[in-house]
Structure 1
Amino acid sequence: MEFEERLAALATKVENQRGAIQTEEATKNAFVMPFISTILGYDVFDPLEVVPEFTADVGTKRGEKVDYAIMRDGEVQILIECKKSTGALRIENASQLFRYFSVTNARIAVLTNGQVYNFYTDLDAPNKMDDRPFLVLDLLDIDETLLPELRKLTKDVFDLESVISAAEELKYVGAIKRAIAAQFREPDEDFVRLFTTRVYEGSFTQKARTQFTALVAKASKQFLNEQVNDRLKTALGASYSAPVGTSTPSDVVTSQPVAERDIDRDTEITTTLEELEGYQIVKAIACSEVKPDRIVNRDAKSYFAILLDDNNRKPIARLWFNAKKQKYLGLFDADKIETKHPVDSLDGIYEHAEAIRQTVRSYLD
């Protein structure tokens, strides 16, 4: 599998098993060791590459251990400290990393609970681990812009200098993105005041603050949704407000082969943006099992079909989105018998992720 596919497979495992993992040792075995081996590419059973329970006596501290040390050419390059998967990561959990960072050659330290991986280096002071990570990888919410830098830490293409040189920008860009996300989820007073004073001429009183806190939060969410929808429309090459098959200049879609595949030949069929968004969700789920280009769609009058290898005998799912009230996701069992599951929103598709993957796997078997 490709790097991204291996990462997606591990993310699926974390999503499915995280609730059952209750101890730090179980977290290491189920999530962290697979991350070291399948993602970073190091042999966890070769002590020349990965040293578990790594010990380096520091001052008066004797016998303290870091969970894993990744070695290259006999030198420690990466230190990894693990916490149980159900616990949040705090810098207070990294006391051993701080001490060991200053007495080894390691330039990268990782604090993880198996789902979130915080990567640290020494940007603020030489040989002293920073308080803030320069890279945060959440397997359940992967930021794809970080993957090129993560790949540089893998065994085959290890490029520490490149990672360190990019670390400062990564650190602050990542922190700013997380701060923006936090404000969009729950805006604080300064954020609300910033936008209120630009659109409201009155004083920023307690009443105004209460009123505009809700308005700013609502406007932020609507703005994000509109941006996502605009990006999706652009990627698919059309706005689906008009029925498919109406007279449209041919050059509108000639540069959009993806859109051409998504439009049914039947002129009485209207492919909606919601159907295409649902298709992209099912496709993203199924990509953990097969390459994306093997997952295609065919729209029909009653339903929107998603198939493996464009083969009617290999249905993955059907989107029954044409009804005005209740929408359904059609899934197939081993005998290809369809069961319709009600979904109230597109997010409801994710609740059936494992069933979708199992259907794909059944065709591969």
Structure 2
Amino acid sequence: MEFAEKLAALAAKVRQQRGAIETEEATKNAFVMPFISTILGYDVFNPLEVVPEFVADVGLKKGEKVDYAIVKDGVIQILIECKKSTEPVKIEHASQLFRYFSVTNARIAILTNGEVYQFFTDLDAPNRMDAKPFLVLDLNDIDESLIPELQKLSKDVFDLDSIISAAGELKYIGELKRTLAAQFKEPEDEWVKFLTGRVYSGAYTQKVREQFTALVAKASKQFLNDQVNERLKKALGAPSFPQNYDVEAAAAITSEPIVDADLANADGIVTTLEEIEGYQIVRAIVCSEVKPSRVAQRDAKSYFAVLLDDNNRKPIARLHFNRTQKYLGVFDDNKEETRVPINSLEEIYEHTEALRASVKSYL
């Protein structure tokens, strides 16, 4: 399995199990240890590679522990501090990391709640951990541009010098991207004033500020949607992805066999962003059984099909999203479809076993 595929599989596991994780210890066992073993490639049961509850007394602080120390070539390279997944990751949780960073050879420190991983080094002062991470990995929203840098920390291709040299750029690019994302979501006054000055020549009064605050927020959302739509159009060869669209009424909610003709008739089909997102979720779930490249999508008038090997006789799922009530179609061993109502895309994860069982039946 490729590195990116392993990340996607772990992300699917996190989304599926997060509701059952309530303690820090459960977070370590369910999420963090699989990250260390599957993603970074270290043997969590080998104390020569992974040292749990690592102790290095610092000054008057005796007996304090860091959750994990990762050893490479006999030297401690990475320190990891964990918090339970129900808590947000905050720099205030990193007190042990700050102290241990200065008394070990580690150049990388990781603070995590099992879902978000913040990576730190010592860019600002030698042997002193920075207050801000140079890389942030969110398994709920993986930034694919960070995957090559993250892979440099894995056991097989460990390249500390390379990642340290790139850390400065990664740190500021990451901060800029998060700042832009925050401004797009809820623009601050300075951001609104800056953009208003580019398009409006009048006085920047209170009334103008209020008017353009709403306009900037609306324009930002439309701009992001335009960018996403353009990428999807290029990827799928579709002519457009309008936000408002008309579709024909769907069939009655019953179990039904595969109908090949439905997939063959592509006239008047409009693929939506929501269908693409649903396809990506199904793909992430079943990549535990097959390579993601084998999971294909094909849109029809009344549903969006997810197929194995792009073969309409190997259905994995159908997304019936062209209606007010959405349905996920899952298949049994006889390729009979059963539609189950869902209210959000996240509910697809509740049917992980059924989706994987469909794939296994074709292997």
* Secondary structure in structure 1 of the residue aligned to 2:13: helix
Asked whether the equivalents of residues 328 and 342 of structure 2 are also in contact (C-alpha less than 8 Å), the reply is no
Which residue number in structure 1 is paired with residue 78 of structure 2?
Answer: 78
Instruction: Give deviations 1:94-153, integer Å, cap 9, x for gaps.
Output: 111111101110000011111111000000000000000000001111101111011010
Q: Distance in 2 between matches of 1:330 and 1:36?
A: 34
The residue type paired with residue 236 of structure 1 is L
Residue of structure 1 in register with 2:2 after alignment: 2
The equivalent of 1:282 in structure 2 is: 279
In 2, the alpha carbon distance for the partners of 1:78 and 1:28 equals 16
Q: Which residue of 1 aligns with 2:268?
A: 270
The residue number in structure 2 matching 1:139 is: 139
Structure 1 counterpart of 2:236, one-letter code: L
Contact 1:279 1:306 in 2 (8 A): no
The aligned counterpart of 2:337 is 338
* Pair 1:224–1:129, CA change in 2 (3 A): same
Identity score, percent: 65
> What is the Cα deviation at residue 301 of structure 1?
5.0
Aligned to 2:254: none
Evaluate the alpha carbon distance shift between residue 62 and residue 110 of structure 1 in structure 2; reply closer, same or farther with a 3 A threshold: same
Q: Which residue of 2 aligns with 1:157?
A: 157
Look up the match of 2:179: 179
Task: Provide Cα deviations, 1:245-269, integer angstroms capped at 9, x if missing partner.
Answer: xxxxxxxxxxxxxxxxxxx765x72
Contact 1:97 1:109 in 2 (8 A): yes
Corresponding residue for residue 256 of structure 2: none
**CA distance in structure 1 between the partners assigned to 2:39 and 2:102 by the alignment:** 26
Give per-residue Cα distances to partners, 1:38-87, cap 9 Å, x unaligned: 11011111111111111111111111111111012221100001111111
> Cα 1:349–1:87, aligned 2, differ >3 Å: closer, same or farther?
closer
Paired residue for 2:51?
51
> Is residue 83–residue 113 contact of structure 1 (8 Å, CA) maintained in 2?
yes
Change (3 A) 1:302 1:137: closer
CA distance in structure 2 between the aligned counterparts of 1:189 and 1:330, rounded to whole angstroms: 43
* Structure-1 residue corresponding to 2:311: 311
C-alpha distance in structure 2 between counterparts of 1:19 and 1:280, whole Å:
21
Could you say which structure has the greater relative contact order, defined with CA pairs below 8 angstroms and 6 or more residues apart? 2
Return the letter of the residue paired with 2:73.
D
The structure-2 alpha-carbon separation of the partners of 1:356 and 1:279, relative to structure 1 and needing over 3 Å to count, comes to: farther
The residue type paired with residue 231 of structure 2 is R
Deviation of residue 330 (structure 1)?
A: 4.3
Q: Contact (CA 8 Å) 1:10, 1:35: kept in 2 or not? A: yes
* Separation (CA, whole Å) in 2 of partners of 1:62 and 1:8: 39
Root-mean-square deviation (CA, aligned residues, Å) is 2.4
Q: Secondary structure at the match of 2:155?
A: coil
Aligned residue number for residue 349 of structure 2: 353
Q: Distance in 2 between matches of 1:302 and 1:95?
A: 55
Instruction: Give the letter for the 2:135 counterpart.
Output: L
1:42 matched residue in structure 2: 42
Shift in alpha-carbon separation, 1:32–1:304, aligned structure 2, 3 A: closer
- Further displaced range: 352-361 or 159-168: 352-361
What is the DSSP-based 3-state SS (H/G/I as helix, E as strand, rest coil) of the residue aligned with 2:210? helix
| Residues in 1 aligned to 2:55 and 2:178: alpha-carbon distance in whole angstroms | 34
Distance between the aligned counterparts of 2:55 and 2:352, measured in 1? 45
Alignment partner of 1:362 is 2:344: no
- 2:168 alignment counterpart: 168
One-letter amino acid of the counterpart of residue 128, structure 2: K
- Measure, in 1, the Cα distance between the counterparts of 2:150 and 2:85: 21
Question: Partner of 2:142: helix, strand, or coil?
Answer: coil
Query: What residue is the counterpart of 1:32 in the other structure?
Result: 32
> Quick one: distance in 1 between partners of 2:33 and 2:304?
41
Superposed CA offset, 1:155-195 (max 9, x none): 11100000000000000000000000011111110011111
Q: Which blocks of at least 5 consecutive residues in structure 1 are unaligned?
A: 242-263
What letter corresponds to residue 279 of structure 2 in structure 1? Answer: V
1:282–1:356: 8 Å Cα contact kept in structure 2?
Answer: no
AA partner of residue 220 (structure 1)? S
Report the equivalent of 2:195: 195
> Is the 1:282–1:349 contact (alpha carbons within 8 Å) kept by the matching residues of 2?
no
Alignment of 1:67-146 (within 5 A): 67-146=67-146
The one-character-per-residue Cα deviations of 1:289-324 (angstroms, maximum 9, x if unpaired) are 322332234454544433222333322223446x6x
Name the residue aligned to 1:20.
Answer: 20
Distance 1:118 1:297 in 2: 34
Describe the superposition over 1:225-258 as per-residue Cα deviations: whole angstroms up to 9, x where unpaired.
00100111122234258xxxxxxxxxxxxxxxxx
Aligned mates of 1:265, 1:314 — CA distance in 2: 15
TM-fit CA distance, 1:343: 6.7
- Whole-angstrom distance in 2 between the partners of 1:141 and 1:304: 23
Structure 2: unaligned runs, 5 residues or longer:
242-262
